[in-house]
């Protein structure tokens, strides 16, 4: 469990960096691939080693859990395919700000949640629906990273939301996706009788809103690191609160 996720995350990050090398040469030329610190053969080797290791460990987890159907392996395989079509042509989902960011959000939130639920519990339809909705908040988080890449995205024709809608509108789309989703999940928990979990989630959303006004909405490029370092932990704890609520 501890290694399968990091291996596949490394695979997705590496393959994304590889197909983004032209954009990174404009936006972040100091990164390993555009700077020449790592060769093409080393990149390709790293991609295959991490992919095969992650899929292999996923299959071993199915054996360990005694699954009749290798659900962890297929979730890992599906996630790996999604990360490929997100980064690579001809589909390259990231070219579309809405589809690409939702795919990214689902990969960060829905997919690992499903895998954990399948490994240590039972993956039920209500969990799938709830986590898919929660992935809308992941869409907002993914947008945060688009602001620093506006110049390169515009040059290469990528329709990220800051490029498509402008920085001001995209900022509000971003925080709206994050905050409205969490408050909607809190309302769902309240409707199912989970009052204290709902209050905890609202309590964790409030400091995120404060930090959005303090940092992100002022300047999403200048305060990118400060905002993510200060606000994201509250979001992650909110995910854990929701997971606890749905498991009781």
Query: Per-residue pLDDT tens for 20-66?
Result: 998 888 888 999 999 999 999 999 999 999 999 999 999 999 999 99
Give the pLDDT confidence score for residue 248 in this predicted structure: 65
Contact 17, 32 (CB under 8 A): yes
pLDDT for 133 equals 84
For residue 113, give the nearest of 100, 102, 123 by alpha carbon: 123
Q: pLDDT (tens digit, 9 = 90+) per residue, 6-21?
A: 999 999 999 999 999 9
The per-residue pLDDT for 168 is: 95
Report the CATH architecture of 97-247. Answer: Up-down Bundle (1.20)
pLDDT higher than threshold 90 for residue 126: no
Work out the average pLDDT over 125-148. 88
Whole-angstrom Cα Rg for the chain:
19
HSE-up (13 A, CA, CB side) for residue 180: 10
Predicted confidence (pLDDT) at residue 2 exceeds the cutoff of 80: no
Alpha helix locations (H) across the chain? 4-19, 21-27, 40-65, 71-87, 97-108, 110-120, 125-144, 150-155, 161-165, 167-191, 195-211, 224-247
Return the DSSP state at 212: I
| Confidence (pLDDT) at 11 | 96
98-107, 112-121, 146-155, 197-206 — which is least confidently predicted?
146-155
Q: State percent of the chain over pLDDT 90.
A: 71
List Cβ neighbours of 30 (8 Å cut-off, separation of 6 or more). Answer: none
Per-domain residue ranges for the chain? Answer: 1-91, 97-247
3-state secondary structure of 96: strand
Say if CB 57 and CB 3 are below 8 A apart: yes
The per-residue pLDDT for range 82-112, each reduced to its tens digit, is 999 999 999 999 888 889 989 988 888 999 8
- Residue partners of 232: CB distance under 8 A and separation at least 6: 141
Q: What pLDDT score does 166 carry?
A: 93
What is the distance between the alpha carbons of residues 145 and 149, in angstroms, rounded to a whole number?
Answer: 7
State both tokens at 31: 């990164």
Rounded mean pLDDT of the chain? 92
Q: Distance of CA 175 to CAs 23, 25, 27, 114, 182, Å?
A: 25, 29, 24, 25, 11
């Amino acid at each position: 469990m501890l290694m399968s996720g990091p291996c596949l995350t490394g695979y997705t990050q590496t393959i994304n960096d590889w197909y983004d090398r032209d954009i990174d040469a404009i936006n972040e030329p100091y990164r390993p691939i555009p700077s020449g610190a790592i060769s093409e053969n080393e990149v390709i080797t790293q991609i295959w080693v991490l992919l095969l290791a992650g899929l292999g460990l996923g299959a071993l987890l199915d054996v360990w859990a005694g699954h009749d159907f290798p659900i962890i392996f297929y979730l890992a395989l599906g996630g790996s395919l999604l990360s490929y079509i997100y980064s690579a042509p001809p589909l390259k989902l990231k070219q579309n700000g809405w589809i690409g960011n939702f795919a990214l959000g689902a990969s960060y939130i829905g997919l690992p949640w499903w895998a954990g639920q399948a490994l240590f519990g039972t993956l039920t339809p209500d969990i799938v629906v709830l986590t898919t909705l929660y992935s809308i908040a992941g869409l907002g988080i993914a947008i945060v990273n688009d602001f620093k890449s506006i110049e390169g995205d515009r040059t290469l024709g990528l329709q990220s939301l800051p490029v498509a809608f402008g920085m001001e509108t995209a900022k509000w789309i971003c925080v709206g996706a994050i905050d409205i989703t969490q408050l909607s999940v809190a309302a769902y928990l309240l409707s199912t009788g989970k009052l204290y979990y709902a209050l905890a989630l609202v309590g964790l959303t409030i400091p995120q809103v404060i930090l959005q006004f303090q940092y992100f909405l002022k300047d999403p490029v200048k305060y990118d690191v400060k905002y993510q370092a200060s606000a994201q932990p509250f979001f992650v704890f909110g995910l854990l609160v929701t997971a606890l609520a749905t498991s009781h």
